[in-house]
Amino acid sequence: MPQADQIDPVVRLSDVSKAYRDATGLRRVLDGVDLDVRAGEFVAITGPSGSGKSTLLNIVAAIEAADAGSVRVGGVELSGVPEPASTRFRRRHVGIVFQFFNLVPTLTVRENLLLPLRLNGIADAKRADALLERLGLGDRGDSFPDVLSGGEQQRVGVARAMVHAPAIVLADEPSGNLDEAAGAPVLELLREAASRGSTVIMVTHSVAAADVAGRRLTLHHGRLD
Ligand SMILES: Nc1ncnc2c1ncn2[C@@H]1O[C@H](COP(=O)(O)OP(=O)(O)OP(=O)(O)O)[C@@H](O)[C@H]1O
Ligand SMILES: [Mg+2]
């Protein structure tokens, strides 16, 4: 897995499928997904609830494995990468905005941002504070996540995903809990990341958010069109 400072952030999925088995039987979620995202592209993915959007992002992030098909990220086939190496790759090169935030509850807002920086050997509290300021959270650095509103937690999740300037940004409804005013700087950050050469894949239910992206795709019946 490449650990170089710079990678080609291309994301290429070919004929990817994924099914889950539960009490009701086998549920086919992704059924032949093809996706090709180049450096500097900002792609929005929409689709009905339950159509597999988060599953798709998790597969690109190597949090989950595809059942079949090829998933190449940064020029490397993910199925061939063992766990510690894929975790290192994710920490260095991927920023993930989780749909349900996944903030570390025992760390303050600022410490949540310092974590990805430290994991990358960057000790730059100013960078974390500047990003919080930009997202309208300049006075929340010392707060713990559980006292923040849903929309505030979501913006912390965005800041944490972006603070180490990852080559690949995977954002799962990053403005889903935000009004237009709070959502605008989030979308602007994602757009900027793409203009610096990162690939950005954003899941959204918002037409306005999807309009900010350069390309829009829809996931339904297990396929992306
Ligand atoms: N770990 C799992 N075990 C079993 N089924 C799962 C698992 N993860 C997801 N699923 C199923 O896969 C389908 C797709 O889920 P996913 O979370 O990817 O949808 P989504 O498009 O992100 O939906 P939403 O817009 O509501 O967030 C759902 O039917 C869900 O129940
Ligand atoms: Mg989802």
DSSP per-residue string spanning 103-144: --TTS-HHHHHHHHHHHTT---HHHHHHHHHHTT-TT-TTS-
For residue 98, give the ligand nearest its CA: 2
Residue 220 beta carbon below 6 angstroms from any ligand 1 atom? no
**List of long-range contacts for 140-143, beta carbons under 8 Å, 24+ apart:** 140/109, 141/108, 141/109, 141/110, 142/108, 142/109, 142/110, 143/108, 143/109
Percentage of the chain with pLDDT > 70? 98
As given in the structure block, the two tokens for residue 195 are 């203009």
**Range of lowest pLDDT (20-29, 38-47, 81-90, 97-106):** 81-90
- Residue minimizing CA distance to atom 7 of ligand 1: 20
Q: Mark the residues whose beta carbon lies below 5 A from ion ligand 2.
A: 53-54, 99
d(CA 127, CA 23): 47
Output the pLDDT for position 80. Answer: 82
- Residue minimizing CA distance to atom 3 of ligand 1: 20
Going by pLDDT thresholds of 50, 70 and 90, the confidence category of residue 79 is confident
CA-CA-CA-CA torsion sign (187, 90, 98, 49):
positive
**Across residues 152-174, what is the average pLDDT?**
97
Going by pLDDT thresholds of 50, 70 and 90, the confidence category of residue 126 is very high
Residue 204 beta carbon below 6 angstroms from any ligand 1 atom? no
Residue 29 beta carbon below 6 angstroms from any ligand 1 atom? yes
Residue 46 beta carbon below 6 angstroms from any ligand 1 atom? no
Residue 5, pLDDT above cutoff 70 = no
Sketch out the chain's domains with CATH numbers: 11-224 (3.40.50.300)
pLDDT, averaged across the chain: 94
Output the pLDDT for position 78. Answer: 87
For residue 172, give the ligand nearest its CA: 2
Going by pLDDT thresholds of 50, 70 and 90, the confidence category of residue 89 is confident
Output the pLDDT for position 82. Answer: 84
Q: For residue range 7-38, what is the model confidence (pLDDT) as tens digits?
A: 788 999 999 999 999 899 999 999 999 999 99
Percentage of the chain with pLDDT > 90? 87
As given in the structure block, the two tokens for residue 171 are 């954002």
- Residue minimizing CA distance to atom 6 of ligand 1: 20
Residue 1, pLDDT above cutoff 70 = no
Residue 100 beta carbon below 6 angstroms from any ligand 1 atom? no
Residue 85 corresponds to which amino acid?
A: A
d(CA 72, CA 44): 19
Residue 99 beta carbon below 6 angstroms from any ligand 1 atom? yes
Output the pLDDT for position 20. Answer: 96
Q: For residue range 36-58, what is the model confidence (pLDDT) as tens digits?
A: 999 999 999 999 999 999 999 99
Q: Among 16, 26, 27, say which to mutate for ligand 1: greatest number of ligand atoms within 8 Å of CB.
A: 27
Residue 216, pLDDT above cutoff 90 = yes
